[in-house]
Structure 1
Amino acid sequence: MSQEPTRRLWMIVFQNFINSFKPRQISGTLKGTDHFGNKYYEIPRNASVGQQRTSRWYDPPVKDDFMQEVPPEWEAWLRGRRREPPDEEEVLKNLAIMHMKKKNAKIVDAQAGKKTPMSKGMETFPKYTEYEVSPGKSENDSH
């Protein structure tokens, strides 16, 4: 009888080893989408199978695009800083505030007589003629 638990243990270890090579079929519940087209999923924690934390992730609309945007409300939910996912109204309200701030910044710069540095959005870095592009060279110097 003492051999029975040991055999069972090795059988479990071997079965887990074989199962580790099989692709996982992860299916979570869809919690929402955003205006970028991202879909957000969650698998709630299940202590009975040893899962201590909830699993949260998102599927972007374009899989190979590495410059994807995630709204701050959804990012907070993904990282576990908020319990409930944001509703669409909250995300749209904050998006409208962000656009209003960009518009107001352009108006203030125009009133101050400055060129607007952000022509493409957040990814562009402002270029000013009074600063060097690289150390020792100005923008007008040739290579």
Structure 2
Amino acid sequence: MSRPGLFRQTVNSILRSFKIANRKEILIGSDEFGNKYFEKPTSGDAQFKRVRRVETFDKDQWSVPKVPTEWMAWLQNKRESAPSDEEILKNQIELAKRLKRSENLQTMRGESIHPDSLTMTENQGGFPHREEYEINPGSSRTEKT
């Protein structure tokens, strides 16, 4: 028995790619922003990556959708299964706890998080001044600006 030739293998590969492209998408889930997440099933071939996508609530193709971190990891194939509502809720609660703890620590220590309150003192230095280099390109060393 002979194996198929290079031409036949190429034709078969092209036909398989069309079959996968024409498969129906499966609705996997949705999030609190109204986004819907879809996945095209694969045939088990290792050469084809899972195709996952999000359909945004506002249908505006130019706006960047708000996508929770868990769903973003699923879209990028960094996780196998889609996140559950309980998992997302648990992560949101943990985030709220962390923010509250950091806020309490800042008030305890009397720290301010406003960038306007951060000033540079003289002893911190700054950009170094070197006599051998020009401050303005093209000006001579004798000219001081």
The TM tier, using the shorter chain, reads: 0.5 to 0.7
Amino acid in structure 2 at the alignment position of 1:41: F
Paired positions, count: 104
In structure 1, the residue matched to 2:72 is: 75
**Identity between Structure 1 and Structure 2 (%):** 29
Q: Measure, in 2, the Cα distance between the counterparts of 1:55 and 1:92.
A: 26
Which aligned pairs between 1:112-131 and structure 2 lie closer than 5 A?
112-117=109-114, 126-131=115-120
- Residue ranges of structure 1 left out of the alignment (5+ in a row): 1-11, 13-23, 118-125, 137-143
- Residue ranges of structure 2 left out of the alignment (5+ in a row): 1-10, 12-20, 128-145
Q: Measure, in 2, the Cα distance between the counterparts of 1:96 and 1:85.
A: 19
| Residues 30 and 39, structure 1, Cα contact 8 Å, conserved in 2 | yes
Query: Which structure has the bigger radius of gyration?
Result: 2
Following superposition, which runs of at least 4 residues in structure 1 exceed 6 angstroms of deviation? none
> TM-score normalized by structure 1?
0.57
Q: Measure, in 2, the Cα distance between the counterparts of 1:89 and 1:99.
A: 15
Change (3 A) 1:112 1:79: same
Change (3 A) 1:115 1:25: farther
- SS of alignment partner, residue 96 of structure 1: helix
Q: CA RMSD, aligned part only?
A: 3.2
| Residues 23 and 41, structure 2, Cα contact 8 Å, conserved in 1 | no
> TM-score normalized by structure 2?
0.56
| Residues 44 and 53, structure 1, Cα contact 8 Å, conserved in 2 | no
